[in-house]
Amino acid sequence: MSTIPVWDNPLRDPRDRRLPRIAGPSGLVIFGVTGDLSRKKLMPAVYDLANRGLLPPGFSLVGFARRDWEDEDFAQIVHDAVREHARTPFREEVWQQLAEGMRFIPGDFSDDEAFEQLRKAVEELDASQGTGGNFAFYLSVPPKFFPKVVEQLKKHGLAKAPDGSWRRAVIEKPFGHDLASARELNAVVHDVFEPDQVFRIDHYLGKETVQNILALRFANTMFEPIWNRSFVDHVQITMAEDIGIGGRAGYYDGIGAARDVIQNHLLQLMALTAMEEPASFDADALLTEKLKVLKAVKLPEDLGRHTVRAQYAAAWQGGEKVRGYLEEEGTDPASTTDTFAAVKLNIDNRRWAGVPFYLRTGKRLGRRVTEIAVVFQRAPHSPFDSTATEELGQNAIVIRVQPDEGITVRFGSKVPGTSMEIRDVTMDFAYGESFTESSPEAYERLILDVLLGDANLFPRHQEVEESWKILDPIEEYWATHGKPAQYASGSWGPEEADEMLARDGRSWRRP
Ligand code: BG6
């Protein structure tokens, strides 16, 4: 078994003197290995980690699915996925080494024989690849299969780690579709795995720009003193996508934008933006602070005026007709599923009382962009003539999560000339200009953290449940009050969303 030492790795930046975080002996078993997520994100992330020298030499990857495949067929599938989607260049020697540890188990989740084979494969890999009994089981499957898979892992002795080794369960969202179902799921998983064995993936937390919220706020002095109700007018968190639901109607219809994105990604972004400084960056300390924010959320009384849901309608874009949501393949033609959702939340604590947090997300919007905009109050007094400040907006700090990663500070500046005219200008930090290091994909970071047992970037069940407590009343309100509004594909959402902010004397940013 050859090893490419991390120090000799051509992908390593020679100026990087930090000790690399390298996973110890281990393997990953993926259930749902034929799905899109596995092909586009998980397999490439495993390869990219190996390519960067961050996986142990005998790392093993086991696929489990209802396919009549041999190990070689599985390796070919992984190979194709890596070739198509990996972030780092293809290197034959890295691939060869990784391929040595690949196994495939055919079977469905109720098939005891298949789980016996899986148990034997794990033992065989321990012996041949030196995985040391350390395995993570990645459940990239719809939640309805969670109970069966964890029950089988328990029944076949896979959930319990042999002495001196570890076993971990990795769970993909959705973690339920409301509080009750999330609690049921959590109970099922915790019946088999201890809480510190369970890693729930919210891939937004794996993004560099999201982790940078903590650096921005807590490694600097100049932001935190103004990060509160005395200076902030409101906060807007936007996650816009230009794509529609594609072939995902089976998952998406009946779920919708609020459950798909607000319940997890956007509430996590809000918690990181609003939380107090944690005592440390370990998982418990972060959980404590994020939970305090989620528990302090108060919904507006009149949900009809302060929330909006909508569906994209057909539209002409670039000379082509784009289908409306109800015409997408697989959606119920009478579906009331939201593809756009906007909500106003208040955080009832000393730091944020009276500062609304507006969250919005949608498919088929103007462009793909995720950002957090902290919008400041206007200056308490202006010594300038009112005509001088006609074009001056509010100061803002915008954390550009993607795709143009960075931070923008917006403020007013005198327009050059003989009169006093003040206009908004921006000061920009762009990752691409300030750093030569490229950002790893979220899944690279998260898979590595699972293998290292580092739980900081994984929401715990308490956060998941608290987030459902916020969303459930909104979903219930929507279910009993009319139909979603409509918006043209390619627009920035329905008029109702603009009206929602206009009622508060504010407007959405056009990112
Ligand atoms: C997923 C949602 O969690 O995030 C998808 O289920 C969405 O509907 C995706 O498209 C967006 O992720 P990203 O990283 O491309 O912003």
- DSSP E strands, 173-317: 198-201, 232-240, 297-298, 307-313, 315-317
487 in Cβ contact with 493 (< 8 Å): yes
Which amino acid is it at 466? E
Residue 301 has pLDDT above 70, yes or no: yes
Task: State the virtual CA torsion across 260, 261, 263, 265 in degrees, nearest 10.
Answer: 140
Question: Would you say 344 and 234 are in contact if contact means Cβ atoms under 8 Å apart?
Answer: no
Among 114-123, 314-323, 324-333, name the one with the lowest average pLDDT: 314-323
Residue 423 bridge partners (DSSP): 413
Nearest Cα to Cα of residue 59 among 33, 24, 86, 89: 24
Q: What is the largest CA-CA distance in the chain?
A: 84
What sign does the dihedral 277-462-174-314 (CA atoms) show?
negative
The pLDDT value given to residue 7: 53
Please give the average per-residue pLDDT across 190-217, as a whole number.
97
Measured CA to CA, the distance from residue 178 to residue 67 in angstroms comes to 32
CA-wise closest residue to 431 among 423, 420, 419, 440: 440
The H-or-E segment that residue 399 falls in is strand 396-402
Mean per-residue pLDDT, 161-188: 95
Cβ neighbours, 10 Å, residue 449: 19
Which pLDDT score, from 0 to 100, does residue 220 have? 98
> What mean pLDDT comes out for the span 10-21?
66
Q: In angstroms, rounded to a whole number, what is the distance separating the alpha carbons of residues 213 and 277?
A: 11
Q: How confident is the model at residue 511 (pLDDT cuts 50, 70, 90)?
A: confident
> Residue 17: is its pLDDT beyond 70?
no
**Segment (H or E) for 322:** strand 320-322
Cα Rg for the chain, rounded, in angstroms? 24
Residue 461: CB atoms within 10 Å: 19
Mean pLDDT across 202-219: 97
Structure tokens at 328: 């997408």
> Considering the chain, what percentage of its residues have pLDDT values greater than 70?
96
| Token pair belonging to 4 | 């490419």
The token duo for 369 is 């962009």
CA pair distance 431, 300, nearest whole angstrom: 37
Active site residue 234: no
Residues annotated as binding site?
A: 66, 108-109, 173, 203, 207, 241, 260, 363
- Its pTM stands at 0.95
- Residue 248 CA, closest ligand 1 atom number: 8
Question: Cβ-count burial of 148 within 10 angstroms (0-12 exposed, 13-18 middle, 19+ buried)?
Answer: middle
The CA 287 to ligand 1 mean position distance, Å, reads 23
Residue 178 has pLDDT above 50, yes or no: yes
Query: Residue 356: how many CA atoms within 13 Å on its side-chain side?
Result: 20
pLDDT by residue (tens digit) across 251-276? 999 999 999 999 999 999 999 999 99
Q: In this predicted structure, what is the pLDDT of residue 18?
A: 66
What's the 239 CA to ligand 1 centre distance in angstroms?
Answer: 9
Predicted local distance difference test score (pLDDT) of residue 319? 85
| Segment 417-454, tens digit of pLDDT | 999 999 999 999 999 999 988 889 999 999 999 999 99
CA of 223 to the centre of ligand 1 (A): 29
Q: Is the pLDDT at 320 greater than 90, yes or no?
A: no
The residue ranking higher by pLDDT, 120 or 10, is: 120
Question: Which residue's CA is minimally distant from atom 5 of ligand 1?
Answer: 260
pLDDT for the residue numbered 15: 59
Catalytic residue among 265, 306, 381, 481: 265
Split at pLDDT 50, 70, 90, the class of 2 is very low
> Would the pLDDT of 44 be above 60?
yes
- What is the spatial distance between Cα 468 and Cα 474, in angstroms, rounded to a whole number? 10
What number is the average pLDDT over the span 337-342? 98
Report residues whose beta carbon is within 6 angstroms of any ligand 1 atom. 203, 241, 260-261, 370
pLDDT of 9 > 80? The answer is no
Other CB atoms closer than 10 Å to residue 358's CB: what's the count? Answer: 23
Q: Taking residues 404-411, report their average pLDDT.
A: 97
Nearest ligand 1 atom to the CA of 251 is 6
Structure confidence at residue 282 (pLDDT):
93
Q: How many Å lie between the centroid of ligand 1 and the Cα of residue 40? A: 12
Contacts of 346 (CB under 8 A, 6+ apart): 297, 298, 299, 300, 352, 353, 354, 355, 356, 357
Average pLDDT for the chain: 95
Task: Quick: pLDDT tens for 109-161.
Answer: 999 999 999 999 999 999 999 999 999 999 999 889 999 999 999 999 999 99
User: Are β-strands 60-65 and 27-31 bridged in parallel, bridged antiparallel, or unpaired?
Assistant: parallel
pLDDT number for residue 436: 84
Mean pLDDT of 309-336: 93
Best residue among 173, 241, 443 to mutate for probing ligand 1, ranked by most atoms within 8 Å of CB: 241
| Residue keyed to tokens 């393997």 | 27
pLDDT digits (tens, 9 = 90+) for 450-480: 999 999 999 999 999 999 999 999 999 999 9
The predicted-structure confidence for 234-253, as pLDDT tens digits, reads as follows 999 999 999 999 889 999 99
Nearest atom (ligand 1) to Cα of 207: 14
Q: How confident is the model at residue 1 (pLDDT cuts 50, 70, 90)?
A: very low
Positions of E strands within 50-111: 60-65, 102-106
pLDDT at 146: 93
CB 489 within 8 A of CB 366: no
Give the residue, 510 or 472, on which the prediction is more confident.
472
